[in-house]
Amino acid sequence: MRAAVRVDRTLCYGTGLCEAMAPAVFSLTDEGYAVARPAGDRAAGPERLREIAECCPAGAITVTGPGAGTT
């Protein structure tokens, strides 16, 4: 099992930070919120995903699964 990544769009500010850090994992929708791309979590390791989650100003990104720790 891989780490799984999820964006809570009710929290997301649409800052585009996650997309700038990992465009293969995240993208901004037309309404300006981030979504995790389907199977995008394959494109980055758990530590990288966790780093991005911790840089997000809204605490909107959750990483779960092996090696992901608790975020």
Partner 1 sequence: MTSTVAPDIPALFTPAYYQDPFPTLAWLRDHAPVHEFPFPVGDVRTWMVTRYEDVRAVLADSRFSAEGATWGNAEFRAAGLVSAAGTILERGIAVIDPPDHPRLRRLAMSAFTTRRVEQWRGTVHAVVERALDDCERRGAFDVMDDYAGEVSAGVLGAILGFRIERHRELVTALNEAFPSDPALMDRVPAAFGRICAYAAELIDDKRSRPADDLTSALIDATDEGTRLDGDELTGLVAAFIMGGSDTVRGFIGNAALALLDNPGQGDRLRAQPELARSAVEELLRYEGALSTALFRVTTEPVELAGARLPAGAPVIAGLLAANRDPRRFTEPDRLNITAESPRHVAFGHGLHNCIGAALARMEGEIAIPALVARFPTLALAVPRDRVRYIENWAIRRLTSLPVTTSTSRHA
36 binds, among partner 1, ligand SF4, none (CB under 5 to 8 A by kind): none
**Token representation of residue 28:** 């901004």
Question: In what helix (H) or strand (E) does residue 17 lie, and over which residues does it extend?
Answer: helix 17-21
For residue 21, give the DSSP letter.
H
Per-residue mark of binding to partner 1, 8-47 (x: CB under 8 A): ---x-xxxxx-xxx----------x---------------
54 is a site residue for partner 1 (CB under 8 A) = yes
54 binds, among partner 1, ligand SF4, none (CB under 5 to 8 A by kind): partner 1
Among 8, 24, 59, 69, binds partner 1 (CB under 8 A): 59
Burial of 37: CB neighbours in 10 Å, binned 0-12, 13-18, 19+: middle
The strand pairing partners of 34, in sequence order, are 28
